[in-house]
Amino acid sequence: MKNKKFTELRHLPADNEHLEHNTGTDGVDRRGFLKCMAWAGTGMLWTVSGGVLASKILNPTSASAADAPMMGGFNFVQISDSHIGFNKAANPDVVATLKEAIARINALPAAPDFILHTGDLSHLSEAEEFDTLEQLLKTTKAGKIFYVPGEHDVLNDNGKQFRDRFGKDTKGDGWFSFDHNGVHFIGLVNVMNLKAGGLGSLGQEQLEWLEDDVAHLADSTPIVVFAHVPLWTIYPDWGWGTDDAAQALSYLKRFGSVTVLNGHIHQVQQKIEGNVHFHTAMSTAFPQPQPGAAPSPGPMKVPAEKLRSLLGLTTVNFVPGDKNLAVVDSTLAGA
């Protein structure tokens, strides 16, 4: 069964670990909500509308008008960790799997308004790796692609090449924000100037910019934050967190809906804390082990027939009036 595969790749923490504040009034209890989210990975699209949890099966082959986003609503796609240039046993052909991810994007019933790439476009920051990535993503049916760098994209030149190619209109090390249909999007950089012994880092200059960036927004503005390294501490022993994320999140506390999209850990993890929904995406290149499940977070070798069930992309649907954005993960496995 397809469902089984999906539940295997998820690591859903015990609800008492992370769901400290269930402030929602949607009548869905913690356990119920987590169960729903676990099922989201099976290809069901969950949306919360008027307090009622609704679902439909995601099926790229049966496009219909009913699947199109509502007026004013829209959808976008997150892809992450393409690692173009990687050629080791965990996936000798990362170009092929990125192409498959692009085919999935192009088969969506409603073309995404844009794509967010949450970093590690390349494996070694080589010009030809960036070239390949750029050319491949040009074949997507999306209006625009926004990028934030991963630590693999800023090697040897402090990210200059990355910013010249993918971050022309950005500030500082490559951070920026934009508005789309009433939603405020913020791209952050947390892979630069890392301190020995530490985790990901945003830095004072970026934090000040962020505070200023959101200062003029109404509390009701839906916020989407995206960055490479998780902005919540998943597993510090492996560096899976950001040292000064709490400061950044303190500026977002007053907003009713905050969605945080990250990459870096090559697997789906999620957490709801107050009004903030944290989510990490799969890689298009190779999987990494669950926290602590291996001696190191290095690429995880799995049987060839299992690889595509651990790679994938994330689709996000925004419906005006709904508090939460619907975040749906789908793998490269299956029809």
Residues at the contact surface with other proteins, assessed by CB under 8 A: 88-90, 123-125, 151-152, 155-156, 194-199, 236-239, 295-299
**Residue closer to other proteins, measured from CB, 195 or 216:** 195
Task: Count CA atoms closer than 13 A to 204's CA, side-chain side.
Answer: 0
Least Å from the CB of residue 195 to other proteins: 6
Distance CA 231, CA 247 (A): 10
Report the distance separating Cα 210 and Cα 92, nearest Å: 39
Handedness of CA 226, 125, 282, 332 (dihedral sign): positive
DSSP string for 43-78: TEEEEEETTEEEEEE--TTS--GGGSPPTT-EEEEE
The amino acid at 224: V
Q: CB-wise, 90 or 223, nearer to other proteins?
A: 90
In whole angstroms, the minimum distance from the beta carbon of 59 to other proteins comes to 36
- Choose between 197 and 321: whose C-beta lies nearer to other proteins: 197
Instruction: Describe the chain by its helix, strand, coil percentages, rounded to 5.
Output: 25, 25, 50
Q: Please say which residue, 75 or 288, places its beta carbon nearer to other proteins.
A: 288
CB of residue 161 to other proteins, shortest distance in Å: 13
CB of 294 to other proteins, least distance (A): 9
* Among 182, 165, 179, residue whose Cα is nearest residue 70: 182
Minimum CB distance to other proteins, residue 22 (Å) = 33
Q: 125 or 206: whose CB is closer to other proteins?
A: 125
Residue 218 CA, chain-centre distance (Å), reads 24
Closer residue to other proteins in complex, CB, 152/308: 152
List 225's β-bridge partners, or say none.
186, 260
| Smallest distance from other proteins to CB 87, Å | 10
Minimum CB–partner distance for residue 74 and other proteins (Å) = 35
Residue closer to other proteins, measured from CB, 125 or 314: 125
- The end-to-end CA distance of the chain, in Å, is 13
